Amino acid sequence: MLYKHLSDVTEEEMEKLLNRTGELMDVADTVSSILKDVQEKGDDGLREYTKKFDRADIQYIEVTPEEIEEAMGLVDAELIRHLKIAAENIRNFHAAQLPEKTWFIEPSPGIKLGQMATPLASVGAYVPGGRASYPSTALMTIIPAKVAGVKSVVMCTPPGPDGKINPLTLAAAKVAGADHIYKAGGVQAIAAMAYGTETVLKVDKIVGPGNVFVTVAKMMVRDKAEIDFPAGPSEVLIIADDSADAAMLASDILAQAEHDPKSVSVLVTTSSDLAEQTNAEVKKQADAAVRKEIVDSSLENAAIIVTDTMDECIAISNDFAPEHLEIMVNDEDSVLEMIENAGSIFVGNYAPVAAGDYASGTNHVLPTAGYPKIYSGLNIHHFLKYSTIQKITKEGLGSIGDTIIALAEKEGLQAHADSVKLRLND
């Protein structure tokens, strides 16, 4: 783990922290080959790669209602209750984001301008598996789509070696309202949803996080299905001053580190004492970590940087553009106002990333690797499209007719100009 004062951080070290997209194109050839195979072979290609990567022989790709009911029976009732609590909070937050379906303004007599929101017809939710199961991601991807009014929401998630999907993930998909669930993971799942197969329905948009292969696959299929944004290995940046608690900071660093060996955790602080205490706490907590091997690998990407001023902390954060940003300082609001780039922001000592990951209601599917500079985290608007509307009377057209005609003729589009003249001379 990098542990330095900002003045001692080299250009190369800072570049490594800030440039986190380098390996994406390293896997492009592999991803492209899998996409092509599944596009050409359909279900057979999907089965082939499921056997290769997930070590599972699957005859039926779509999960049956009987399998879902079996999964519901295998999950403890108390866990189902917690899924429903989280689902309700997610549903309420995303419902609050819903725009007015149709609105109009009247900038001048005879001209009404408006906008109409309509849901996408179909969406594919990708829910990762592999090192762990992520039922929470099923809730985060499916529920907003259903709240937006998407009629067909399908979910892909990798099966285990027994050919079955984790029961809790299936239970979450049912609670969330998935219309179809498929036993498919990785690049092959992205291909199936983008191109369609004999079993898997083609979708208009694919959402959800994944590893570097899934992220690149999503980027490559955008000519067939739109995506939410690149969402790779998890990351957190924490801005803290001497009011923060070192044990809390360390626990939040480890919470990201346990996700993936490539996860990135950064603490920037104005307090050298807090930095020292947190560094010691990270080592202590890492020794007791359940997923110690992953944590140890991930901590090689971590950093603790001490600055002289809070402005320097904020500048580093805005350059880093973290997926998750925690603000643990005395003057929270003044720091919050200066944040420009972050996927999701957690303010205060009692707002850990884990709250948003599971149950507060905000979405945990977020852009990573600096992409919060140009993308928003998953929200209701990812599942809607907007059409502009014009209602114009003859009087209204007359008020802008000369302008239309002059500009159209200047661009050499006489038929445009004539279409207005015809109406005004009627």
Q: Is 323 in the active site? A: yes
Compute the Cα dihedral for 210, 214, 219, 223 and give only its sign. Answer: negative
Cα angle for residues 17, 21, 26 (degrees, 5° grid): 130
d(CA 43, CA 31): 17
Catalytic residue among 94, 180, 259, 324: 324
| Residue 310: both structure tokens together | 């809070």
Backbone angles phi, psi at 243, to 5 degrees: -85, -10
User: Coil, strand, or helix at residue 208?
Assistant: coil
User: DSSP strand E in 244-296: where?
Assistant: 264-269
| Residue 70: both structure tokens together | 């079996």
Catalytic residue among 226, 235, 258, 323: 323
d(CA 180, CA 32): 26
Q: Is 5 in the active site? A: no
The answer to whether residues 236 and 324 touch, using CB atoms and an 8 Å cutoff, is yes
| Residue 27: both structure tokens together | 């896997």
Helix, strand, coil share (%) of the chain residues, nearest 5: 50, 20, 35
- Residues with catalytic annotation? 323-324
